[in-house]
Homo-oligomer: A and B are copies of this chain.
Amino acid sequence: MAIRALVWGENVHERANKVVAEVYPGGMHQCIADVLQADPNITASTATLEQPEHGLTEEVLARTDVLLWWGHAAHGKVDDAIVERVATRVWQGMGLIVLHSAHFSKIFKRLMGTPCALKWREAGERERLWVVNPRHPIAAGLPEYFELENEEMYGEPFSVPEPMETVFISWFQGGEVFRSGLTYRRGAGNIFYFRPGHETYPTYHDATVGRVLRNAVTWAHNPLPAIADPTEAPNVPVDKALEPIEERGPKLHKAGEAGLR
C-alpha cells in the first residue's frame, strides 16, 4: 500500500504576496504534494490553515502516515489543541517532516522542547548542501552536494537538541553554516527537519529537493500499528507481577486507583 502523505501549508503568503503567488500559483502545499506524487509509492493530499480544524481532524490524521509542515507568517494562528493532537499522532507513529520556516512552528517546538531559534538573512544567496551521512536513506540517489542558487540564509546556532543523525550541512555564500537535515525519533514517530524552502524562491521546484522530500517521506514512514494511547501510564498490580512479590511497606494509592498525573 502506498504511503499516505499529507502536506500542510499555511497558504498565507501565496495569496497575500504577488511574488510568492507567481512562484507557487497553486500554493506551496500543492507544489510539494505534486512533487511527492512523482513517487508511485506515495499518495499525497493537502491541508491548510484556513480549513476547519486546519484540515487536521482526528479522522484525517488517523489515515496519515507522514505529515509535512510548512508555515511562516501564521504560526501563532495554529490552535494549541490541534498542535497537541498532531504531537500525539507523532508519538503514535506518524512521521513528521518539518520544512524551512516551520522551525518556529508550534508543533516543532512542542516536540523538540527547545526554542528552535537561528540566524537569518533574506538575500537570495547561494546555498550548498553537503551530504555528511552518505547512503543514509534520506540521501538516496544524491550527489555529494547540491546547490540552490537563491535561498534565504539560516545560520547556527540552531537551538535544537542533538539529533539522532545529521544528514546535511549547508554552506552559505555570506559566510554561515547550518545543520540542514536532522533526524529525531519522538515516541514511535520519525521526524526530519529539512532547511530549504523560502517562499520567494522556486526551491520546491528543484529536482534534488524533490528527491530529498520523497526520500524523507519513505524514511519517516513507520508501517507498524499505532501506539493506542502513548500518554497512558498503566498500573501493574502486585498480583499481576511477573515475578512473585509480596506487598511491603506503606502505600499512597488504594488498590485499583489510577496514578497521579
Hey, which chain B residues are within 8 Å of A114, CB to CB?
91, 111, 186-187
Interface residues contributed by chain A, number (CB under 8 Å): 98
Chain B residue contacts of A128, Cβ below 8 A: 175, 242
Nearest B residue to A169 via CB reads B177
Number of copies of this kind of chain in the complex: 4
Interface centre among A128, A171, A248 (most CB of B within 10 A): A171
A241 at the B interface (CB under 8 A): yes
CB of A101 closer than 8 Å to a CB of B? yes
Tell whether, in the assembled complex, residue A132 and residue B157 are in contact, meaning their CB atoms are under 8 Å apart: yes
Complex Cα spacing A199 to B249, Å: 12
Task: Give the residues in chain B near A207, CB-CB below 8 Å.
Answer: none
Q: For residues 4 through 57 of chain A, which have their beta carbon under 8 Å from a beta carbon of chain B?
A: 13, 17, 19-20
Find out whether the CB atom of A135 lies under 8 angstroms from the CB atom of B170.
no
Q: List 16 A-B contacts (CB under 8 A).
A: A17-B252, A19-B250, A19-B252, A73-B260, A117-B230, A117-B233, A120-B259, A122-B251, A131-B157, A132-B156, A134-B227, A135-B225, A150-B248, A171-B171, A174-B245, A177-B177
